[in-house]
Structure 1
């Protein structure tokens, strides 16, 4: 698994860090070796080869993250050649220690263990072959070297685990942030669609009735009736327009209440429901359509969201009847059962060859029904057009009907 080469919050890039570490190690090795050369002497050739090995070992550290195993092998080989040859006994071993740590920290744990074991065996065999008086490392130092190598591998492994943990935490935080943003966008979209649907139903219904009523009275006035008849027709139309616009304003304020600020008072107007079905019927009848209602089953209180959805479906259906159907009669049937409420609106109009030609109204009604786990159909019949909806009242409604 690819992990970031530095811990979160580090200001330097990986390559800049490698360059700084390489420079610091090089300064330590060079200065230490230079100081040791003041107390020891060796041939110019050995000195030249020793400095070349120091340059190779220190320079290789720059690539320790990209090629950790190769760098460890190079630094080990440089140390293996440097110490038997040089009399200065400089700290070139630091380069191999750092390289071995990097192998473990980069996730090459097996290679790190193998290199540590090879180093320990090589040093041990080299010391065993020496005579008793020529040994450079005694048994205690050899055990300390083993502990030192094991510690380097363990610390590198620990750093790898730490980086993996930090990387996982960072990825989880990013995933949680993305999920939160997606949920916020989804919630905003759903709320926007809900408000748009409410505004369409409220304004579409009321404005359609006002338009029909105004057109009807203008049509009567265009026939130049008697002044008394014209005044009566105009007065009746204006009363209907006044009542319809008043209801539209009330429902619009209630709908826009969801957009109020936190310190504003909540709307006090009652929520629309089937108990106000009579008002819809009266307004529709004012346009010249005979609207009748029928109830099947035993009426029962409905959950407010379902009650509102049923009301809006009837409202939008009557809007379509007055605007598109050219109908003279309409029948609204409300059927109650233990598990659902069914709403059906039949009219004797011309119908529609394609329900989608009625615009977004049918789609909005279908979305309302679907939100509660129900369904809605709109189709032509032998006598006109029918809109039928089923709204569940059980578990489906509990899970979905939260609008």
Structure 2
């Protein structure tokens, strides 16, 4: 904060103190300036009466903030009184009036300041004509010009204060908007991570549940039970690996050795997993496959993963058909399976809610239908070709 800003802050907090300081400075400068040589080689004024007039006029500046019109009357009276008393022009006598008009211009609307300044200058002009018919032209101009300069300085000060206030307001608004945007981003990221964790955990725990049940019924067949235990081990490792990847994203680290997040190219792995877990799954691709943005890739993968997980849990032994249709600007994904039981997706569980949130976040649309004994999930996602790096 510079000196001017500190002075403005002090003026707003302690107006009487700053006004008193200004009054003392103006009185000191006024008394000293009275002694300076004037135009036309006229000597300065060192009389006690002149000094008292200037000091009294300056003293009224103490109330310039709380009683500006009284201050105007007193400072104008001081300038006119000195002019009539001495019969000559001295700029030092108009110094308190200059400060008073500057204050009025800085605290009142422009129309009020202009009218006040114009009326004061007209009155001083009449005084100059009456009192000093033999004055130099520069003296007549000075009698009016010095108060006018004060009003101009006050107007500029007011404009500067408004500009500073506007800049500060914009900065505060920008900070508030930035904080709000950051809070929204944090919330969106938390929702996205919750969807990821739900998808990963639900997918792998469903598989582990089936494999544990299988192992319990095959305890008398060690070889088959060993295969089920090996599958559980593989699924637990996959779950830990994907959760580790999600935690890594929360820490804003690179993909590293664990590789990128899954996408469209990994749907074949989901199909193999579903077949291994007793669900006859076929996939069909129409159109020309092409890469798209990472959020769309991940959304497509998670939708298929959630649909197959529900099929493994609630439609074991049935047939699931996955269709991917690449259109010019969109990707259509359909997953269909017989509706053997009331699935959590059909009843609006967390799986469907997370799927819908993920699809909306990627800019797509989700449609779930269970009519005709077939549970159908249809997702349409925007298909934007990634620019080559």
Q: Taking structure 2 as the reference length, what is the TM-score of the superposition?
A: 0.78
Distance (whole Å) between structure 2 residues aligned to residue 130 and residue 24 of structure 1: 30
Query: Are 1:57 and 2:47 matched, yes or no?
Result: no
Aligned equivalent of 1:214, options 212, 215, 221: 212
Q: Which region of structure 1 is more displaced relative to structure 2, 277-286 or 6-15?
A: 6-15
Aligned equivalent of 1:347, options 334, 337, 341: 337
CA shift in 2, pair 1:353/1:361, >3 Å: closer
Query: Are 1:235 and 2:226 matched, yes or no?
Result: yes
CA RMSD of aligned residues (A): 4.0
Distance (whole Å) between structure 1 residues aligned to residue 54 and residue 140 of structure 2: 26
Specify the alignment match of 1:121 in structure 2. 122
Q: Which region of structure 1 is more displaced relative to structure 2, 354-363 or 337-346?
A: 354-363
Specify the alignment match of 2:73 in structure 1. 74
Specify the alignment match of 1:365 in structure 2. 355
Secondary structure of 2:335's aligned partner: strand
Specify the alignment match of 1:333 in structure 2. 322
Asked if the contact 2:19–2:61 (Cα under 8 Å) also holds between the matched residues in 1, the reply is no
CA shift in 2, pair 1:129/1:301, >3 Å: closer
Asked if the contact 1:109–1:153 (Cα under 8 Å) also holds between the matched residues in 2, the reply is no
Distance (whole Å) between structure 2 residues aligned to residue 378 and residue 80 of structure 1: 88
Distance (whole Å) between structure 2 residues aligned to residue 216 and residue 270 of structure 1: 32
CA shift in 2, pair 1:71/1:168, >3 Å: farther
Asked if the contact 1:334–1:341 (Cα under 8 Å) also holds between the matched residues in 2, the reply is no
Asked if the contact 1:53–1:82 (Cα under 8 Å) also holds between the matched residues in 2, the reply is no
Distance (whole Å) between structure 2 residues aligned to residue 252 and residue 26 of structure 1: 74
Asked if the contact 1:346–1:387 (Cα under 8 Å) also holds between the matched residues in 2, the reply is yes
Asked if the contact 1:257–1:267 (Cα under 8 Å) also holds between the matched residues in 2, the reply is no
Distance (whole Å) between structure 2 residues aligned to residue 267 and residue 129 of structure 1: 96
Specify the alignment match of 1:189 in structure 2. 187
Asked if the contact 1:375–1:390 (Cα under 8 Å) also holds between the matched residues in 2, the reply is yes
Offset of residue 387 of structure 1? 1.3
Specify the alignment match of 2:310 in structure 1. 320
Secondary structure of 1:300's aligned partner: coil
Specify the alignment match of 2:103 in structure 1. 102
Distance (whole Å) between structure 1 residues aligned to residue 210 and residue 11 of structure 2: 72
Give the count of matched residue pairs. Answer: 369
CA shift in 2, pair 1:129/1:93, >3 Å: closer
Asked if the contact 2:280–2:320 (Cα under 8 Å) also holds between the matched residues in 1, the reply is yes
Q: 1:248-285 CA distances to partner (integer Å, 9 max, x unpaired)?
A: 233333333324566x7723435423433343233333
Distance (whole Å) between structure 2 residues aligned to residue 60 and residue 12 of structure 1: 16
Secondary structure of 2:352's aligned partner: helix
Offset of residue 354 of structure 1? 7.8
CA shift in 2, pair 1:383/1:127, >3 Å: closer
Distance (whole Å) between structure 1 residues aligned to residue 19 and residue 288 of structure 2: 82
Q: Which region of structure 1 is more displaced relative to structure 2, 271-280 or 165-174?
A: 271-280
Q: Taking structure 1 as the reference length, what is the TM-score of the superposition?
A: 0.75
Asked if the contact 1:328–1:349 (Cα under 8 Å) also holds between the matched residues in 2, the reply is no
CA shift in 2, pair 1:24/1:59, >3 Å: closer
Distance (whole Å) between structure 2 residues aligned to residue 86 and residue 189 of structure 1: 77
The answer for unaligned runs of 5 or more in structure 2 is 36-44
The answer for unaligned runs of 5 or more in structure 1 is 1-5
Asked if the contact 1:104–1:160 (Cα under 8 Å) also holds between the matched residues in 2, the reply is yes
Aligned equivalent of 2:236, options 245, 259, 267: 245
